[in-house]
């Protein structure tokens, strides 16, 4: 029998839910606070085997995991928009614009149209949302007015690349958790404009999610993939870091069990 992972948790409402699942599975864990801007943990974890450590909390935990050589630690992802296998399935991916904040004032016409925008990197600098071109240009100017040394980590920077796409009418949105090439759990999180968390998924949506994982098997050992139903059918929205993504109504016992079964040291 393999040794269990050491689970290091940063306290949030979602990680409290994960802790309840770990309790039911009789898997031990420890709670830690993160020192702002520094990134150290309080208390400092006592690690038995750095190749059997996983962390859940804020996305910035990846820095601590990397500095401590924890594996799997935090499953960092490459930008999903760079994955050519997924290009045919992206929501408006074929018509996307890719611009850094520095490029926006000169390259985005202030024509009054709306755009859905999000950072290309999975860094949570700006949540995905719809803005007018005027608001996007103003946002860029506000960032560019700052000296780069004044901008804190985790904030939009001059060289942050954004993806801009035409807003689409979305009927349903689901989050799926992929571990070791399998969808292990899922959650509905939006119906139209209503936020709803239910542990359910349409059969064709689950099949679509499995197809996305299957056609890109080397993306990451564990990640979250968001998909949606539109008037034009099922589409892929984005991927997210599994260690920092909201759990919604996922089956956390299935998720924790799947991560426990990953091979030692398995990570991107």
Structure tokens at 211: 């197809």
Ranges of beta strands (E only) in 26-92 are: 29-34, 41-42, 53-56, 72-73
Residue 89 lies in a domain: no
Q: What are phi and psi of 206, to 5 degrees?
A: -65, -40
Residue 88 lies in a domain: no
Q: How many domains does the chain have?
A: 3
DSSP 138: H
* β-sheet bridge partners, residue 56: 9
DSSP 112: S
Confidence of residue 268 (pLDDT cuts 50, 70, 90): very low
Residue 169, sorted as left (phi over 0), alpha (psi -120 to 50) or beta, turns out to be beta
Residue 86 lies in a domain: no
Based on the domain organization, do 161 and 99 belong to the same domain? yes
Are 199 and 187 spatial neighbours (Cβ–Cβ below 8 Å)? yes
Residue 194 lies in a domain: yes
215 by DSSP, 3-state: which? helix
CATH number for the domain harbouring residue 238 = 3.30.470.20
Structure tokens at 30: 């420890």
For residue 97, what is the enclosing H or E element? strand 97-100
The predicted-structure confidence for 167-226, as pLDDT tens digits, reads as follows 888 999 999 999 999 999 999 999 999 999 999 999 999 999 999 999 999 999 999 999
Based on the domain organization, do 218 and 154 belong to the same domain? no
The predicted-structure confidence for 75-121, as pLDDT tens digits, reads as follows 999 999 889 999 999 987 667 888 999 999 999 988 989 998 888 87
Based on the domain organization, do 218 and 196 belong to the same domain? yes
Domain, as residue range, for 53: 6-73
Based on the domain organization, do 27 and 57 belong to the same domain? yes
Based on the domain organization, do 177 and 225 belong to the same domain? yes
Final residue in a domain of this structure, among 111, 133, 165? 165
Largest distance between two CA atoms of the chain: 62
Q: What are phi and psi of 88, to 5 degrees?
A: -65, -15
Task: Provide the b/e sequence for 36-73 (b: ≥16 CB within 10 Å).
Answer: eeeeebeeebeeeeebbbbbbbbbbbbebbeebebbbb
Based on the domain organization, do 175 and 246 belong to the same domain? yes
The predicted-structure confidence for 216-265, as pLDDT tens digits, reads as follows 999 999 999 999 999 989 999 999 999 999 999 999 999 999 999 996 54
pLDDT of 142 strictly over 80? yes
39-61 mean pLDDT: 95
Final residue in a domain of this structure, among 131, 165, 199? 165
28-36 mean pLDDT: 94
Based on the domain organization, do 55 and 32 belong to the same domain? yes
Based on the domain organization, do 141 and 200 belong to the same domain? no
Residue 267 lies in a domain: no
Final residue in a domain of this structure, among 41, 73, 105? 73
Based on the domain organization, do 149 and 199 belong to the same domain? no
Closest CA to 241 of 267, 216, 265: 267
Neighbours of 180 (CB within 10 A): 14
Closest CA to 142 of 159, 158, 127: 158
Residue 186 lies in a domain: yes
Confidence of residue 267 (pLDDT cuts 50, 70, 90): very low
Residue 27 lies in a domain: yes
Residue 58 lies in a domain: yes
217 by DSSP, 3-state: which? coil
pLDDT at position 124, please? 62
Based on the domain organization, do 144 and 191 belong to the same domain? no
**Whole-angstrom distance, CA of residue 105 vs CA of residue 15:** 40
Based on the domain organization, do 160 and 173 belong to the same domain? no
């Amino acid at each position: 029998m393999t040794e269990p992972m050491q689970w290091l948790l940063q306290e949030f409402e979602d990680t409290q839910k994960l802790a309840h699942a770990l309790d039911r599975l009789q898997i031990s864990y420890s709670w830690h606070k993160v020192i702002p801007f520094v990134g150290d943990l309080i208390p400092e974890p006592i690690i038995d085997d750095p190749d059997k450590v996983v962390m859940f909390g804020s996305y910035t935990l990846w820095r601590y995991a990397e500095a401590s050589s924890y594996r799997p630690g935090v499953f960092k992802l490459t930008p999903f928009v760079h994955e050519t296998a997924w290009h045919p399935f992206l929501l408006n991916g074929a018509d996307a614009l890719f611009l850094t904040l520095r490029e926006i004032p000169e390259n985005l016409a202030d024509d009054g149209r709306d755009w859905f925008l999000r950072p290309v990197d999975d860094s949570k600098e700006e949540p995905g949302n719809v803005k007018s071109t005027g608001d996007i240009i103003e946002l860029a100017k506000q960032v560019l007015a700052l000296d780069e040394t004044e901008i804190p980590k985790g904030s939009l920077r001059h060289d942050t690349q954004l993806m801009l796409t035409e807003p689409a009418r979305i009927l349903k949105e689901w989050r799926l958790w992929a571990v070791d090439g399998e969808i292990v759990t899922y959650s509905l999180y939006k119906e139209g404009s209503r936020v709803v968390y239910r542990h359910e998924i349409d059969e064709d949506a689950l099949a679509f999610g499995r197809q996305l994982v299957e056609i890109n098997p080397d993306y990451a050992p564990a990640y979250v993939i968001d998909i949606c139903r539109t008037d034009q059918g099922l589409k892929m929205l984005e991927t997210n870091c599994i260690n920092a993504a909201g759990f919604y109504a996922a089956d956390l016992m299935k998720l924790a069990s799947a991560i426990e079964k990953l091979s030692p040291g398995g990570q991107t």
